[in-house]
C-alpha cells in the first residue's frame, strides 16, 4: 500500500551540551559506541532497511560528520601501503556511494521540528524516514526495516514506540494508542513531554519515524512548544487530524545515547554483541565490577 521509502533524514545539528567537555570540539554524533561513531550505527540501520539517500541536517562545527562520510585518500593509501586490507575494507564498506549523501544547515537552534523542516527541499515531496542519532537500537531485525515493512502494509505515518518508566514521560513524546494488530497500534493521540499524571500512556516515541511529506506544511507554521522549541510531535499531532498514524512496538532494545547512562549502557551492550570482543570484555567487566563492590 505504502510508497517505497528511499530517503532518510538525520538531524545532527545539536550542541551535545550534556557531554561537555567531550563535545566542545567534536560533534556528539561522532562519539563512539565500541569502535564506530554513533551516527555510523544509525546510518547502518538505514542502509539495512534499503535507504538510498542520506540527508544530514547539520550546524556549525559539524564538518567532521561530512568528512566521515567522504573518501580519505591519504588514509586509504596508507592502509594499502601497510597491508592493512581488512581495515581498508571496513572503510570502503561504510562509505555511501557518490551522490547518496546530502547536507543542509539548520542555521538557528529552533528545535527538532525546525531541523526536519530544513530538509524539505531535499526530501522532494516523498514519504521519508526520520532517524534521531541519539537513539541506538539493538536486537532482531533493524528497527527501520520493521517500520518500512509495516508502512508497506498500512501506508500513512509510522512511529516506533518503546516503554519508559511512568515517571519519565516528561522527557519524551508520548502517544495514546487504540486498536492493536500484531506488533502495530493505531495511534489516537500524542503529546510532547507530558507530566506523569497527565500522560496518556508510558509509550515513548523513540526516535524513528516514517512520515508523509505533508508534515512540512505543518512544520512551516508550527509555533514553539515544549522547551520553547518547534517540536516534531506537535506537527505530527496536527497532521494526525488529516492522516493515519500507526505505532510499531519495536522488537529490540533502545539506548538513549544523548544521556550518559544510556551511552555507557550502549557501549556495554554493543561490545557484548561482538563475537571478537565478548569473552575478553566479559572478563574485564567482571574485574571492574569486583573492584567496585
- DSSP secondary structure of 224-243: P-GGGS--HHHHHHHHTTTS
Amino acid 88: pLDDT: 93
Give a yes or no: residue 225 inside a domain.
yes
Amino acid 2: pLDDT: 43
Task: Give the domain range for residue 36.
Answer: 7-292
Give a yes or no: residue 2 inside a domain.
no
What would the mean pLDDT of 59-80 be, rounded to a whole number? 92
Give a yes or no: residue 51 inside a domain.
yes
What would the mean pLDDT of 259-276 be, rounded to a whole number? 94
Q: Does 51 have pLDDT greater than 80?
A: yes
Amino acid 227: pLDDT: 66
Q: Does 82 have pLDDT greater than 90?
A: yes
Helix, strand, coil share of the chain (percent; to 5)? 40, 25, 35
- DSSP secondary structure of 62-128: -HHHHHHTS--HHHHHHHHHTT-HHHHHHHHHHSPPTT-EEEEE--S---HHHHHHTTHHHHTTS-E
For the chain, the average pLDDT equals 90
Give a yes or no: residue 31 inside a domain.
yes
Give a yes or no: residue 1 inside a domain.
no
Which of 101-105, 174-178, 179-183, 223-227 tops mean pLDDT?
101-105
Q: Does 1 have pLDDT greater than 50?
A: no
Q: Does 140 have pLDDT greater than 70?
A: no
Q: How far apart are CA 114 and CA 170, in angstroms?
A: 21
- Which residues in 185-213 are b (16+ Cβ under 10 Å) and which e? bebeebbbbbeeeebebbbbbbbbbbbbe
Give a yes or no: residue 75 inside a domain.
yes
Give a yes or no: residue 147 inside a domain.
yes
Q: How far apart are CA 148 and CA 94, in angstroms?
A: 22
Q: Does 72 have pLDDT greater than 60?
A: yes
Amino acid 204: pLDDT: 87
CATH number of the structural domain spanning residue 172:
3.90.550.10
CA dihedral of residues 281, 283, 284, 289 (deg, nearest 10): 120
Give a yes or no: residue 78 inside a domain.
yes
Question: Domains in the chain: how many in total?
Answer: 1
Instruction: Read off the pLDDT of residues 207-239 as tens digits, 9 standing for 90 and up.
Output: 999 999 999 999 988 877 666 778 888 899 899
For the chain, how many residues are written?
293
Sorting pLDDT into bands at 50, 70 and 90, what band is 139? low
Strands 53-58 and 36-37, sheet pairing: unpaired
Amino acid at each position: 500500500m505504502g510508497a517505497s521509502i528511499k530517503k532518510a533524514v538525520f538531524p545532527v545539528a545539536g550542541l551535545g551540551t550534556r557531554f561537555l567537555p567531550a563535545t566542545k570540539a567534536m560533534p556528539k554524533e561522532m562519539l563512539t559506541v565500541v569502535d564506530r561513531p554513533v551516527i555510523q550505527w544509525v546510518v547502518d540501520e538505514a542502509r539495512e532497511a534499503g535507504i538510498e539517500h542520506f540527508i544530514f541536517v547539520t550546524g556549525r562545527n559539524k564538518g567532521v560528520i561530512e568528512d566521515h562520510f567522504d573518501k580519505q585518500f591519504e588514509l586509504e593509501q596508507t592502509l594499502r601501503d601497510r597491508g592493512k586490507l581488512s581495515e581498508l575494507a571496513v572503510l570502503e564498506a561504510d562509505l555511501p556511494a557518490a551522490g547518496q549523501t546530502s547536507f543542509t544547515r539548520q542555521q538557528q537552534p529552533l528545535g527538532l521540528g525546525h531541523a526536519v523542516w530544513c530538509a524539505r527541499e531535499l526530501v522532494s515531496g516523498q514519504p521519508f524516514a526520520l532517524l534521531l542519532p541519539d537513539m541506538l537500537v539493538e536486537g532482531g531485525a533493524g528497527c527501520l526495516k520493521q517500520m518500512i515493512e509495516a508502512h508497506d502494509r498500512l501506508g500513512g505515518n509510522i512511529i516506533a514506540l518503546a516503554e519508559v518508566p511512568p515517571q519519565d514521560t516528561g522527557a519524551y513524546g508520548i502517544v495514546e494508542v487504540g486498536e492493536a494488530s500484531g506488533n502495530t497500534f493505531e495511534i489516537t493521540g500524542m503529546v510532547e513531554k507530558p507530566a506523569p499524571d497527565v500522560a496518556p500512556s508510558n509509550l515513548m516515541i523513540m526516535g524513528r519515524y516514517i512520515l508523509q511529506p505533508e508534515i512540512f506544511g505543518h512544520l512551516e507554521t508550527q509555533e514553539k512548544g515544549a522547551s520553547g522549541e518547534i517540536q516534531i510531535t506537535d506537527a505530527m499531532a496536527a497532521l494526525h487530524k488529516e492522516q493515519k498514524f500507526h505505532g510499531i512496538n519495536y522488537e529490540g532494545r533502545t539506548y538513549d545515547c544523548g544521556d550518559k547512562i544510556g551511552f555507557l549502557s550502549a557501549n556495554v551492550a554493543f561490545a557484548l554483541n561482538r563475537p571478537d570482543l565478548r569473552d575478553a570484555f566479559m572478563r574485564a567487566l567482571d574485574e571492574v565490577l569486583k573492584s567496585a563492590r
